[in-house]
Copies of this chain bind each other. A is one copy, B any other.
């Protein structure tokens, strides 16, 4: 049976929430899409670009009649939100999210919500270089992946509906334990971001010490731009991701520090064969990443 919701309410109508709203409206997956947010300007834009049918500014008014609520605000606000309006939800309503961390956040959401409310954690992995609903698009999730993170407490029917919702956006949906999600995303996404943030800040320091007037742009080829592109990601969002995935990330950074120190020692001691071996391994691993998943 195809999914159909009476009212989907999106809390936080930005790039991700807004793009999902556009798709749900176009595909008629819900009778009404309601947006909730603090900035009226933004909500008006959301109506204009077709992301929502209407909006309210008080989330309590927004969720009362919803059978699906999508939390698309910064993950640090979840607790406050769920505490504020969790008790107003209809029995059997589904609450889902789009946050980049899961683990404890999913457990917290489950604990905050009344027993008859069904929570399903979800993480659509979509490009986030642009922000805001005006940059939203019905194609944002096409060909992307979305990870859903059920727990033993997750209602199977709600999981099926959220899975289908994200499949209808054109994403491939994977299911995994929320804590495994954080370990994997910590490695393939959070650690590379920390590496890029640190690299850019180190380069700024070197520039300021070496030659403040020097324009690094003159000398930076494609390599530097690619390597550091993700360093321009949202500071607020990444602050929250770093803190919510703290334990994994600290461990991962330490593995990275060890490899970096090893390479430094090979360079310092002039160990050509040792260096070449490390670089050959890096090339091999990197080339595996280019292939298609098995």
Q: Does A264 contact B (CB under 8 A)?
A: yes
Tell me which residues from 22 to 41 in chain A have a Cβ below 8 Å from any Cβ of chain B.
Answer: none
Cα(A231)–Cα(B67), bound, Å? 48
Tell me which residues from 179 to 235 in chain A have a Cβ below 8 Å from any Cβ of chain B.
Answer: 183-185, 187-189, 191-207, 210, 214-235
B260 touches A257 (CB 8 A): yes
Q: Does A246 contact B (CB under 8 A)?
A: yes
**A200 CB contact (under 8 Å) in B147, B202, B250, B285:** B285
Residues of the B chain whose Cβ atoms lie less than 8 Å from the Cβ of A202? 191, 252, 255-256, 258-259
Q: How many residues of A are in contact with the other chain, CB < 8 A?
A: 95
Q: Dominant SS at the A interface? A: helix
Q: Does A275 contact B (CB under 8 A)?
A: yes
Assembly stoichiometry (copies): 2
One digit per residue, 1 when the CB lies within 8 angstroms of any chain B CB and 0 when it does not, for chain A 273-285 equals 0011011111101
Cα(A215)–Cα(B187), bound, Å? 12
A263 touches B188 (CB 8 A): no
Residues of the B chain whose Cβ atoms lie less than 8 Å from the Cβ of A263? 194, 197-198, 253
Most buried by B among A199, A215, A232, A235: A199
Cα(A24)–Cα(B29), bound, Å? 62
B267 touches A218 (CB 8 A): no
Q: Does A152 contact B (CB under 8 A)?
A: no
A255 touches B188 (CB 8 A): no
B227 touches A278 (CB 8 A): no
B253 touches A270 (CB 8 A): no
Q: A217-B288, A226-B229, A228-B289 are in contact. List 17 more A-B contacts (CB 8 A).
A: A184-B219, A188-B216, A188-B221, A188-B224, A189-B223, A192-B199, A192-B223, A194-B260, A201-B285, A205-B255, A218-B293, A228-B286, A231-B286, A232-B283, A246-B270, A257-B257, A257-B260
In the assembled complex, 6 residue pairs joining A and B whose CB atoms fall closer than 8 Å, in A order, are: A196-B282, A201-B285, A202-B252, A227-B227, A232-B290, A235-B279
